[in-house]
Amino acid sequence: MTAPKKLFIKTYGCQMNVYDSERMAEALGASGYIPTDTAEDADMVLLNTCHIREKASEKLYSDLGRLRALKAEKPGLKVGVAGCVAQAEGAEILRRAPVVDLVVGPQSYHRLPEMVAAGGRQIDTEFPAEDKFTLLPERKALRGPAAFLTVQEGCDKFCAFCVVPYTRGSEVSRPVARLLDEARGLVAQGVRDITLLGQNVNAYHGAGPDGPWGLARLIRELAKIDGLARIRYMTSHPNDMEDDLISAHGDLPALMPYLHLPVQSGSDRILKAMNRKHTAADYLRLIDRIRAVRPDILLSSDFIVGFPGETDADFNATLDLIRAVGYGQAYSFKYSARPGTPAAEKPPVPSEIADARLHQLQALITTQQRAVQEAMVGREVHVLYEKPGRMPGQMVGKSDHLHAVHVADPNGRIGQLARVRVLASSSNSLAAEPLFGIG
């Protein structure tokens, strides 16, 4: 028997890429590849790329530079580029980087084994008619009791700054039956926490047995799976927060009190220029309705500062919105002009101004995040143990509100949903002591 070949995948960007990397590893597993943790040790390196901001795209070319040196020492090394840069730049990557053997877009991962077997330099950035996930092998590789499940891909919203509708294409929802099967399979293998993923996850409208199902109905069905304790979903668009999804937050105990609901800006003028199709007041009203059914929900968002035309007054409106909501955490970005998007045509805000705004916004978010974490101290919460901590006898996991929690629990085991009391809050996590296990 020949020794197995080793595969190293580097994942950039969003959770969707994390999920896709796992599925690519499974697909190549069928061709005899086993995972390894470093490029140096690998026979094949795949870079699963992100195109959302310029910095993310540039990382690809700096990594390819390093791989060129590695391939000089190890001529048999195969190098592949997957993900959204592969989709956006396609053959340009093969032209610009001779080190690359394979370019494969996010909709073509099922073809990886044949592309590798064919040898030579290969490219596939097609959008097949069929759900790519059906063409991939069954899921088996597992990394613990919390898993991602992609339910929807692509986006039809065309926010003026965003490349996603171009790189991931228009919205496609996976059929209900396949998702239920995949979720049941995960639970049978010990998964207790599933995060449903999609670029526009609450626009989900997959084919069900009696017509299309929305996200709320899918979640209600998933919640019936025995052993599945927790369900989350991301990323949502405010305009797709339907009534039944909001009510699910009030009446489904398995639906966790955490919602990532990007608003991008608090200025109506900028929201309009971004093509968001909602106002700051619409968003605030929505938050009120969600909090009315689930008062303790932890809210998260994405913000862009320095969008073309953003004035001090616009930026202050964003700070006002943040103060009005009170976020538990948030991601914030300096606007990055992306070729091919409408906003890229407009004159940019000076870089130093955008930097200063980003700094100010992040300071405000940090204050809010700390306050939300501090408020957890003394409370009893549930933690799903995902792995041992760095200290002896310590377990690490996530709370219902998605806080990372370190628990001194020598008897704790991975996959256990433990009841703990929060003792302290530090910058990025909570410390807790166990009360008693509930399974």
The item of ligand SF4, ligand 5AD, none sharing an interface with residue 86, based on CB under 5 to 8 Å by kind, is: none
Q: Count of CB atoms within 10 A of residue 239's CB? A: 16
Residues 303-342 that bind ligand 5AD (CB under 6 A): 304, 333, 335-336, 338
Q: How far is the CB of 331 from ligand 5AD (least distance, A)?
A: 7
Q: How far is the CB of 13 from ligand SF4 (least distance, A)?
A: 12
Span interacting with ligand SF4, options 120-128, 151-159, 289-297, 308-316, rule CB under 6 A: 151-159
Span interacting with ligand SF4, options 13-21, 154-162, 190-198, 402-410, rule CB under 6 A: 154-162
3-state SS assignment for residue 125 = coil
Look at residues 187, 231, 164, 197 and name the one whose alpha carbon lies nearest to residue 22: 197
The item of ligand SF4, ligand 5AD, none sharing an interface with residue 157, based on CB under 5 to 8 Å by kind, is: ligand SF4
Give DSSP secondary structure letters for 45-111. Answer: EEEEE--SSHHHHHHHHHHHHHHHHHHHH-TT-EEEEEHHHHHHHTHHHHHH-TT--EEE-TT-GGG
3-state SS assignment for residue 301 = strand
The item of ligand 5AD, ligand SF4, none sharing an interface with residue 327, based on CB under 5 to 8 Å by kind, is: none
Q: Is 53 in the site for ligand 5AD (CB under 6 A)?
A: yes
* One residue of 207, 302, 342, 421 binding ligand 5AD per CB under 6 A: 302
The item of ligand SF4, ligand 5AD, none sharing an interface with residue 237, based on CB under 5 to 8 Å by kind, is: ligand SF4
Rounded CA-CA distance 318/307 in Å is: 12
Rounded CA-CA distance 171/180 in Å is: 20
Residues 234-273 that bind ligand SF4 (CB under 6 A): 237
The item of ligand 5AD, ligand SF4, none sharing an interface with residue 329, based on CB under 5 to 8 Å by kind, is: none
The item of ligand 5AD, ligand SF4, none sharing an interface with residue 336, based on CB under 5 to 8 Å by kind, is: ligand 5AD
Give DSSP secondary structure letters for 212-238. Answer: EEEHHHHHHHHTTSTT--EEEEE---G
Task: Confirm if 295 and 288 have CB atoms less than 8 A apart.
Answer: no
What are the residues binding ligand 5AD (CB under 6 A)? 52-53, 161-162, 262, 264, 302, 304, 333, 335-336, 338
